[in-house]
Structure 1
């Protein structure tokens, strides 16, 4: 396993881990792709591009090696609290599985505890674990909802994702300002009043 140390960022040292054999194989494929696209992969500017892309793809798709359920269980606490817990504006960076181009946006996640809560940062980590895979936004929304519902067994879960898709902006219809919104709800959030309260809270700005 190769370790890449990227310095101190925001108070912590980021460590990226790459499997040497996989990195080399992916790099070889990208080298061939560059040639098939008409590039000279021996020129100075592209000489190290295949290995960089191989590492970048492993980083962007690291969610396959992560277990979101274990993330939640690692910080589960008994608590007699039965009001909404909302973590909003969670940044999302994911890859569309149809064209392998990024879609970028924000997730808003809420749940109503039923005896257990989880660390707030774990909600963001769950979002990231599912986002760091080849995805479609609709499935990503449902996976986050199901993970929280199945692991914490809350009274309800709500997930809303707003994202811009580069496959729409750079190719295809080329609509640069379009935003796709998806949502999924369980339990208490299936009631109109509860759902509307959640939407109002994620839409509001604190003064």
Structure 2
């Protein structure tokens, strides 16, 4: 059985999609924020690999084909932004200030926590791109000498936390403006958070989509500067 799974080029893709679908079913049934489909899917895949005693490299031979869709899927987020172009032009200064503030907050927080916990330079630069989409974050981590696999894990965890906590945090801090919600979610938790923003509304989704692209570009520049601080 194990040999069949290892040799199958479809195993990784199948188990990934099946686990994610299971997460969607649980989310629809119980409607709890903690039951994020990506979080549930990740846990189920991990359990399956452990129980079936399948190494990650064999799983990834099939699962990597899903990863190829990550970049074009991110680019497609430009569609809702185009639909809200008038609103963007109207709030251009506020949008620019909000995204810049979010990116700086992310970089400064990583720097302070890295110093507080005594992280090495390699560990520090690994965490710098935590709030941007994987397609960009991997390149940043590689360029700065970080640990790419950990960067991917940190980006995913950041996105899941943003997706799960976004609505609650907006209510706690009484953030009601759709533009502000979208910018905050997209800047802090990239594409995974944007999925939640789109659930909240079209404006939130569009602004979050914009934040992903702009925050990614700003982080590429900002991370290179902040990497020299430690």
Asked whether the two chains share a fold, i.e. TM above 0.5, the reply is no
Which structure's CA Rg is the greater one? 1
The structure richer in strand per residue is 1
Higher relative contact order (CA 8 A, sep 6+): 2
Question: What is the TM-score when the length of structure 1 is the normalising length?
Answer: 0.31
